[in-house]
């Protein structure tokens, strides 16, 4: 069973049909919507500020979601995939976003809807990622505008697939 821990009077809250892997850790002021999945060794630490997660979000193996004390909460929209070993810290991610493996999203970043952050990208503090963008590199910069094929073939496909994968693990 996942470690779900109350801290400083805040108990994590999950919506309907969520999957929490046995080694996932969810602490403190964390509220997530429906059809979310938190995978093996992922950590959501709402100890120093809040974390809000919409519906149909998957946070994959080894990913870390955290905040900055009294300064930068983390807000994640709907239909978002956060890939393996990504770090999401004190930022806002809107709907229909794919954050690639090992990407780092730093404090006060805003990622608008319908975006891809490439694997290994480092999105520096205070960056504003415009809707429909693909960002890559270190530091991350816009490399192209998202295509309809990328939006449907990656962002939606991955989010839908993780609902299916989570179903395999439910008792």
Q: Give me the DSSP letters along 101-132.
A: TT-EE-TT-EE-SSEEE-TT-EE-TT-EE-TT
In this prediction, residue 170 carries a pLDDT of 82
- Altogether, the residues listed in the chain come to a count of 171
- Confidence (pLDDT) at 152: 81
| Residue keyed to tokens 């693909």 | 134
What domains sit in the chain, N to C, each tagged with a CATH number? 3-169 (2.160.10.10)
Cis peptide before 73 (omega within 30 of 0): no
**Of 100, 101, 48, 79, residue with least CA distance to 162:** 79
Return the exposure string of 48-80: e unless at least 16 CB atoms fall within 10 Å of the residue's CB, then b: bbebbbbbbbbbbbbbbbbbbeeebbbbbbbbb
Q: What is the mean pLDDT of the chain?
A: 96
Q: What are the structure tokens assigned to 70, written together? A: 């009294």
Q: Specify whether the CB–CB gap between 76 and 56 falls below 8 A.
A: no
Spatial contact of 4 and 31, defined as CB atoms under 8 Å apart:
no
Question: How does pLDDT run across 29-64, given as a tens digit for each residue?
Answer: 999 999 999 999 999 999 999 999 999 999 999 999
What's the rounded mean pLDDT across residues 6-14? 98
pLDDT for the residue 33 = 98
């Amino acid at each position: 069973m996942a470690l779900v821990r109350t801290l400083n009077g805040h108990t994590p809250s999950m919506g309907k049909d969520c999957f929490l892997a046995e080694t996932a850790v969810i602490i403190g002021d964390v509220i997530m919507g429906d059809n979310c999945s938190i995978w093996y060794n992922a950590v959501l630490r709402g100890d120093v500020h809040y974390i809000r997660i919409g519906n149909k979000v998957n946070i994959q193996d080894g990913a870390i979601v955290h905040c900055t004390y009294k300064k930068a909460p983390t807000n994640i929209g709907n239909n978002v995939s956060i890939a393996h070993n990504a770090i999401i810290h004190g930022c806002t991610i809107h709907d229909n976003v794919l954050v690639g493996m090992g990407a780092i999203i730093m404090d006060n970043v805003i990622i608008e809807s319908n975006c891809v952050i490439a694997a290994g990208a480092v999105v520096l503090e205070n960056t504003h990622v415009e809707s429909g963008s693909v960002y890559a590199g270190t530091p991350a910069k816009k490399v192209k505008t998202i295509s309809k094929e990328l939006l449907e073939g990656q962002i939606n496909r991955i989010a839908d697939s993780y609902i299916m994968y989570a179903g395999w693990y439910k008792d």
